[in-house]
Structure 1
Amino acid sequence: MLYRVEGIVIRSMDYGEGNKIITLCTATHGKIGVLARGAKKVKSRHAALTQPFTYGEYTFYRQKEGLGTLNQGEIIESHFSLREDLYSAAYASYACELLDRTLQDEEVGSFWFNQLKACLDGLSAGKDPEIVIHLFEMKILQAAGYGPVIEECLSCGRQDDTHFISPRLGGRLCRSCRHHDPAAMKVAPGTYKLLSLFERMDLRRLGNAEVRDSTKAELKKVMRAFIDMQLGLQLKSRNFLDQLDKYEI
């Protein structure tokens, strides 16, 4: 059967002497694997279509199960700038791997696709990569069914002036309910405000934000704890980001 879909390349791997297998995140067919014959060859008409982060229209043949075979395609947005810069590539790779490991094969939903596209567009546009990625992490948690409860206490529904966040339980605890998780983190008002905004905001609406380094550091700690506690993923791309942070000047 012939398929024509818009998709983003979230994974690309060599296969055999001259071929590549790409994994596409699509709005209409979920996550799909496609074989691009000859794509490793420099003069291949498919070479550019298989580059990581590429957003394009892909036409491929596929049986009911297994890989599709790429017939033709057209690039809509290459996101070349993300591949030529080490830090941008690291953040984009993390976003793609996080989605790839969380999204089940052919789990259909345009939300996943739209948030990834907005994430890559935001990184390409030079928006603060840490803010873009942490908002994307929040959207991934929500799409996977583990979205944190930030606006009110997840135990009693109360809203008070304390900001205790429990990644283990999945959200905010008020002063009276903090005993449910003594390890809950008390976060600064600025961090809580961002978390509350992230809970409600679509990534496509994110503008240019200026956030203090101390707030970003605390936000990173909180979001990483949510990802670890709720998804339990070991991601190579995140380890690489950590190594870059150590050597950043």
Structure 2
Amino acid sequence: MWKRKKAIWTRFGICLSKRGFPKRTVCTKRRKEELKEEKKTDGICLRSVEYGENDRIITLLTDKLGKISVRARGVSSPKSRLRHAAIPFSFGEYILSENGDFYSLKSFDYNDAFTSVADDLVRYFSGTAALEIADKLTEEMVPVNEEMARLLRFLMSVCYDRGGLPEFLRYFLDMLTIAGYAVSMGTMQPGDDPKYYVFDLDGGGFASSSVHNPYAVKMTSSSMRLLALFLEGENVEGESDSFVDIFSVLSQYVKVKTGKNLRALFELCDLLRNGK
């Protein structure tokens, strides 16, 4: 009577029976992950949050996948070769594998980290606020090519052309326009010289100071004139107090429209108020 002998493993990993017929084998977990389709996309890291002991959940703005959340395993370890991929401002090619409702980081090809943004406090907080604006004014899994281009253009101007507050305000206004919250002059044109100017947080433009509006906030004349120049397409220098006034009003506008707070922008305004 024939008796079954021990299975044989060949050099190619195929398990054979006594008669030489291949036996069905089960892929290991690692092999299954290798079989998953990898996706390559250029992206910039907007945010990084600790997840477990050594992992992080990073938010990326990408050219092919939109804004996505990615689990980066082991990147908190100082020995990790991918730790730079999970640092805000990091820009490069991300290689990801899709796992259910989220992506996992497989590899990262470094392009730029915009490290010189940290050489100056105002530029650093402007850059941090720019990342936050890109995060708060975009939705996941929708095309964000235009938003990504605006963000990279601003970061390059800050790092390599010594851009400052005018470039940041231009970026902020552009991002609001792309998101569908464009700022306009409203019902009152500059030059009317009222006692004070008011901005309508619901309508996204200036309103008459004589009309009661629960969404109205005051703006100084210098701030209003500076903002009017930017709305006409000009990039001009101005007093830091005027920029602070504009940033404060626009952050309230974002809060009314989206329900989201721009904390990094508040820190930038606080820095400008207290002096550099």
Deviation at 1:46, TM superposition (A): 0.6
**2:190–2:228 CA contact under 8 A, matched in 1:** no
More moved, 219-228 vs 135-144: 219-228
CA offset at residue 44 of structure 1?
1.8
- Between the aligned residues of both structures, percent identity stands at 23
Q: Indicate the residue corresponding to 2:261 in structure 1.
A: 234
Aligned to 2:82: 46
Could you tell me which runs of 5 or more consecutive residues in structure 2 were left unpaired when the two chains were aligned: 1-36
Distance 1:248-1:178 versus aligned 2 partners, 3 A rule: same
2:253 equivalent to 1:223? no
Answer yes or no: is the 8 Å Cα contact 2:45–2:90 preserved in 1.
Answer: yes
**Following TM superposition, by how much is the alpha carbon of 1:86 offset from its aligned partner in structure 2, in angstroms?**
4.3
1:132 CA drift (Å): 2.8
* Aligned pairs (5 A) from 1:98-113: 98-113=133-148
Whether 1:139 and 2:174 are equivalent positions in the alignment is: yes
1:192 has 2:219 as partner? no
Distance 1:196 1:58, change over 3 A: same
In the alignment, which residue of structure 2 is the partner of 1:120? Answer: 155
Q: What is the TM-score when the length of structure 2 is the normalising length? A: 0.71
Further displaced range: 1-10 or 189-198 = 189-198
2:192 match: secondary structure: coil
8 Å CA contact 2:48–2:88 kept in 1: the answer is yes
Superposition pairs for residues 80-95 of structure 1, below 5 Å? Answer: 80-83=115-118, 85-95=120-130
Tell me the C-alpha RMSD between the 2 structures. 3.0
Give the conservation status (yes or no) of the 8 Å contact 1:191–1:218: no
Relative to structure 1, the CA distance from residue 211 to residue 86 in structure 2 (aligned partners, 3 Å threshold; closer, same or farther) is closer
Counterpart among 167, 170, 175 of residue 201 in structure 2: 167
Post-superposition CA distance 1:115-155 (Å, at most 9, x none): 11122222223211x323322221222122111223x63xx
SS in 1 for 2:57: strand
Residues 24-49 of structure 1: CA distance to partner in whole angstroms, max 9, x if unpaired? 00122211112222212223221112
Does structure 1 conserve the Cα–Cα contact (< 8 Å) formed by 2:118 and 2:124?
yes
Q: State the one-letter code of the partner of 2:262.
A: L
Which of the pair has more CA radius of gyration?
Answer: 2
Shift of 1:8: 0.7
2:238 aligns with one of 169, 188, 211: 211
1:171 corresponds to which letter in structure 2? G
- Matched residue, 1:78: 113
Is this contact kept in 2: 1:22–1:35, CA < 8 A?
A: yes
What amino acid is aligned across from residue 59 of structure 1 in structure 2?
A: I
Cα deviation for residue 58 of structure 1 reads 0.7
CA distance in 1, matches of 2:73, 2:219: 53
Distance in 2 between residues matched to 1:56 and 1:231, nearest whole Å: 29
2:263 is matched by which residue type in structure 1? Answer: K
State the number of aligned residues. 234
* TM-score in terms of structure 1 length: 0.77
Letter in structure 1 aligned against 2:139: Q
Q: 1:149 aligns with which of 136, 161, 184?
A: 184
